[in-house]
Amino acid sequence: MLRIWTPDFQTLKSEVSTGNEITHCDVNYDSSQICVLSASNGTISVLDMDNSSYNVVMRTHKDNVTDLAYSQMTGKLITVSDDYSVKVWHAETMEQVNEFISENDKPIRVVA
């Protein structure tokens, strides 16, 4: 849960449920946007106070990346991690396209 207070802590301006533990926040110069890093799910998000929006800008693995592959044909990068997941990224923008999680079998290798 992220709570935004006035500088004197007298008034709660906003409250956002991220669904995950927040490990770091940083406010930009004009104080309208707050960068939120959540280590428990590996995301970086931006809370825009002016637009009342909360957008995930990057998703990462929660543990070490153990293998990766790049497909020239599709322009996708595939990563495998000790967090039991395989993630597919758009190589040019690095936006996450897909995520596959295996609860019992840790993926160890990926071929594109």
Instruction: Summarize pLDDT for 54-86 with one digit per residue, the tens.
Output: 887 777 888 888 898 999 899 999 999 999 999
Same domain, 45 and 79: no
Same domain, 53 and 76: no
pLDDT per residue as tens digits for the range 17-60: 777 777 777 776 566 777 776 666 667 788 887 887 888 777 78
pTM of the model: 0.59
Per the domain annotation, does 108 fall within a domain?
Answer: no
Same domain, 12 and 49: yes
Same domain, 25 and 47: yes
Domain of 81, in residue numbers:
65-101
Per the domain annotation, does 43 fall within a domain?
Answer: yes
CA–CA gap between residue 108 and residue 7 (Å, rounded) = 48
CA–CA gap between residue 18 and residue 49 (Å, rounded) = 15
CA–CA gap between residue 110 and residue 1 (Å, rounded) = 36
Torsion, CA 49, CA 55, CA 17, CA 2, rounded to 10: -50
- Nearest Cα neighbor of 14 from 30, 31, 29, 28 is 31
Per the domain annotation, does 21 fall within a domain?
Answer: yes
- Which helix (H) or strand (E) element contains residue 43? strand 43-48
Per the domain annotation, does 74 fall within a domain?
Answer: yes
Please count the structural domains in the chain: 2
